Every structure is written in structure tokens, then in C-alpha cells.
Structure 1
């Protein structure tokens, strides 16, 4: 992922280095491209931080493995190790939150998708209710009265 981010950054620099006249002839990056690139950078930073810290914690645990620790020190080392393990798994579930928080285009597409799903469900429910209403309207009560002469 870091390699792809570096390549994307180089492409942006190359697009910006063209003179303005040549840039009009080529397809320049639009707003969505910059939002996607910004999200990619944030995702890379989170990946580097969340995988770097557990590595440092693991190195520390391996260095101090042969030392005798008190139960409190063992508890602290275990807590820090568990925190590192938790941090290690964050990048794999953080992408959705990164894109939701940083990209207006992604938020808009998500809203449109949710609206599309809910509207289909609402339309099908409304159609079913409408059909039920029509069936009830089509049922006619036949009441016959017989008039008996008195």
C-alpha cells in the first residue's frame, strides 16, 4: 500500500509540473481524485503508525524477556502487548471510517446507496399496502333484504 501511495504522489507531482497550457490538453485531476488521494495518504499514515508501534513493543518484550519481572511489571508488559495487538488490527477496519470522515464524494455516494436501498424497500412496502387496500375495496358486501308484506 505504501508503494502505491508513493506512486500516486509522484503522479500528482508530475501532473502539477506540466505548464498550464499543456495541462488543459491533458486530463487534470479533479476534486474526487484529490479526495481519494488524501484518504489514501491518511490510510498509509494510520497503517505505518499502527504497525510500527506493535513492532517496537515486540522488540522491547524480546529484549526484556530474560529479565526477572515483578507481577506488576508483568501486568504492565502484558497490557502494553495487548494494546499493541489491538493497534495492529486497526488499519484493517479503519478504511471505512477514513473515507467517511475525509471524502465528501464517498459520503455522498454512501448516502445515495442507502437511500436507494431504503427507497426500494419503502416502495415495495407501499405497493403491497396499496394492493391490499385495493383488494379490500374490491370486496363488496352483498346484503339482501326481503320485504315481507304485512
Structure 2
């Protein structure tokens, strides 16, 4: 019985992973869908611009995007767009090459990475842009260590 419980816990840990929710990377298919996402979401949006002619750089960026999904989970929205099959995106944002990463927040472009698409550059731009809302300021801070701790018998 104990072996079955242990096996079940191991399988649960495997399925849950690190405990963070993993985000999903989906393809943008048309301009209407993009405008809807851009105007309705409250989360930061990271768009990876690719092309079927891009080659190894886009393959490497796909790996970075999967890692980004694992790292930031559901804190950001991840989208990919192929500018050859969806030229509307290239026209909207004056794109002439791929790969490119564009970060949007509150419907506006706030950052763009074109040359350095390393993992460090990607995470730096996400971490340094303060994309995530700070905790509310009305949270009550815990009492200092010098305050007396009530006992359970009182």
C-alpha cells in the first residue's frame, strides 16, 4: 500500500512539475484575433515574430519561448506570428526581418528585441520592465520580532 501511495505522489509531482502553472504558446492567425487580444487582456503579451525562411535563429527562439512559458507560466501571454503567412503584423509594426520579440502592455508596444535574442536578454527585458503588478500597498505587515507573541493558553 505504501508503495502505491509513494508512486502516486511521484506521479503527481511529475505531472505538476515545479509547482508553477505553465503558460501556453499559441499562434496568431489573423488581425481580428490580434486586436481582440491586444485590447482585452490585462496581462503583458510577448509576441515572437518568426518566418519559415528564418532558419536556425527561429528554431533557437522557439526553444527560448518554451523556456519562457515554463518560467513565467500564466503571468504573461505568449504568442507567435509568422510574418509570411500573416503580413498584417509586419505591416502594423514595420517589421522587415525575423526573428523579433515584441513586448506589449496595456495595448502598446513597450519593448522590442531584434539582435540579442539570448535567454539573458529576454528575461532581462521582462524583469526590468516591471511587467508584473506590485503587491497591494494596503497589506498589513507582520509585527516585528520585538513584539510579544501571545501564548495559546491565553
Q: Which has the larger radius of gyration?
A: 1
Greater fraction strand: 2
TM-score, normalised to structure 2's length? 0.27
Greater fraction helix: 1
